[in-house]
Amino acid sequence: MSTIEDSDTAYRHDVVIIGGGAGGIAVAASLIKRRPKLDIAIIEPNTEHYYQPGWTLVGGGVFDAEQTRRSTQDVMPAAATWVRASARRIDAEAGVVELDDGRVLGLSRLVVAPGLVLDWAAIDGLEDSLGQYGVTSNYRYDLAPYTWSLVSSLAEAPAPGAGRAKALFTQPPMPIKCAGAPQKAMYLSCDYWRHHGRLDAMDVSFCNAGDALFGVPEYVPALEEYIARYGIDMATRHRLVAVDGPARRAHFVVTSAAGDTREVEMSFDMLHVVPPQRAPGFIAKAGLASEDGWLDLEPYTLQHRHHPTVFGLGDVSATPNAKTAAAVRKQAPVVAANLLASLDDKPLTAAYLGYGSCPLTVEKGRVVLAEFGYGGELQPTFPRWVNDGQRATRLAWWLKARQLPWLYWNGMLKGREWLAKPATRTPPG
Note the pLDDT tens digit of each residue in 360-402.
999 999 999 999 999 999 999 988 888 888 999 999 999 999 9
> What CA–CA distance (Å, rounded) separates 413 from 102?
29
Peptide bond into 175 cis (omega under 30): yes
Q: Which of 358, 370, 401, 404 is catalytic?
A: 358
Q: Is the pLDDT of residue 421 over 90?
A: yes
Every domain of the chain with CATH number 3.50.50.60 lies at 3-116+279-424, 128-275
Q: Is the pLDDT of residue 7 over 80?
A: no
> What CA–CA distance (Å, rounded) separates 114 from 317?
10
Q: Is the pLDDT of residue 125 over 70?
A: yes
Class of the CATH domain delimited by 3-116+279-424: alpha beta
Q: Which of 107, 178, 243, 351 is catalytic?
A: 178
pLDDT at 163: 81
pLDDT at 220: 97
pLDDT at 10: 65
Q: What percent of the chain has pLDDT over 90?
A: 93
> What CA–CA distance (Å, rounded) separates 160 from 426?
70
Query: Strand pairing partners for 319?
Result: none
Query: Is 358 a catalytic site residue?
Result: yes
Q: Is 390 left (phi over 0), alpha (psi -120 to 50) or beta?
A: alpha
Query: Is 207 a catalytic site residue?
Result: no
Q: Taking residues 268-278, what's their average pLDDT?
A: 98
* pTM for the structure as a whole: 0.96
**Is residue 1 very low, low, confident or very high in pLDDT (cuts 50, 70, 90)?**
low
Q: What percent of the chain has pLDDT over 70?
A: 97
Q: Is the pLDDT of residue 21 over 90?
A: yes
The lowest-confidence range among 73-82, 262-271, 339-348, 419-428 is: 419-428
Residue 110: closest CA among 43, 22, 204, 189: 43
Report the mean per-residue pLDDT for the chain. Answer: 95
Distance of CA 331 to the CA centre of its chain: 14
pLDDT at 4: 44
Q: How far apart are the first and last CA of the chain?
A: 42
Q: Which CATH architecture best describes the domain 128-275? A: 3-Layer(bba) Sandwich (3.50)
